[in-house]
Chain A
Amino acid sequence: MPWLHAVEYLEKIQEIPLNDKKLVQISLYAALIAAMGLVPPIPFATGIPITLQTLGVMLAGVMLGPWRGFLAVMLFVFVVALGLPVLSGGRGGLGVFAGPTAGFILGFPVAALVTGLVAQLLGKLNLLVAASIGAFVGGILVLYLFGITGFKLITGREWMESITIMMVYMPGDLVKVIATALIAQSVYRAMPSAVAIR
Chain B
Amino acid sequence: MSISLKQVTLCRDQQPVLHNLTLDLTEQRIALVGNNGSGKSSLARLLNGLLQADQGDIEVHRKFPARGVAQMADTVGFIFQNPDHQLIFPTVAEELAFGLRNQGLSSKDSTLNARQFLLDHNRIEWADRPVHSLSEGQKQLVCIFSVLILKPELIILDEPFSALDLPTRMGLMKWLNQLPQQILMISHDFEFIRDFDRVIWLKDGHVHMDGPPKIVIDQYLAQCREEPSIC
Nearest-neighbour CB distance to chain B for A196, whole angstroms, equals 16
Asked if B192 is an interface residue, CB under 8 A from chain A, the answer is no
Asked if B132 is an interface residue, CB under 8 A from chain A, the answer is yes
Return chain B residues, CB-CB under 8 Å to A192. Answer: 130
| B contact residues, total (Cβ < 8 Å) | 7
Nearest-neighbour CB distance to chain B for A193, whole angstroms, equals 9
Interface residues of B in 128-157 (CB under 8 A from A): 130-133
> Do most interface residues of chain B lie in helix, strand or loop, or is the interface mixed?
mixed
**In the complex the two chains form, what is the Cα distance from A13 to B132 in whole Å?**
27
**In the complex the two chains form, what is the Cα distance from A187 to B89 in whole Å?**
9
Asked if A25 is an interface residue, CB under 8 A from chain B, the answer is no
Return chain A residues, CB-CB under 8 Å to B132. Answer: 190-191, 194
**In the complex the two chains form, what is the Cα distance from A186 to B88 in whole Å?**
10
Asked if A189 is an interface residue, CB under 8 A from chain B, the answer is yes
Nearest-neighbour CB distance to chain A for B70, whole angstroms, equals 16
Return chain A residues, CB-CB under 8 Å to B89. Answer: 186, 190
**In the complex the two chains form, what is the Cα distance from A29 to B131 in whole Å?**
21
Return chain B residues, CB-CB under 8 Å to A190. Answer: 89-91, 130-132
**In the complex the two chains form, what is the Cα distance from A29 to B89 in whole Å?**
20
Residue of B whose beta carbon sits closest to that of A187 = B90
Nearest-neighbour CB distance to chain B for A103, whole angstroms, equals 35
Interface residues of A in 133-184 (CB under 8 A from B): none
Residue of A whose beta carbon sits closest to that of B130 = A190
Residue of A whose beta carbon sits closest to that of B132 = A191
Interface residues of B in 99-135 (CB under 8 A from A): 130-133
Return chain B residues, CB-CB under 8 Å to A194. Answer: 132
**In the complex the two chains form, what is the Cα distance from A192 to B130 in whole Å?**
9
**In the complex the two chains form, what is the Cα distance from A191 to B129 in whole Å?**
10
Point out residues on B near A: beta carbons under 8 Å: 89-91, 130-133
Point out residues on A near B: beta carbons under 8 Å: 186-192, 194
Give me 8 A-to-B residue pairs in the complex whose CB atoms sit less than 8 angstroms apart, sorted by A's number: A186-B90, A187-B90, A189-B90, A189-B91, A190-B91, A191-B131, A191-B133, A194-B132
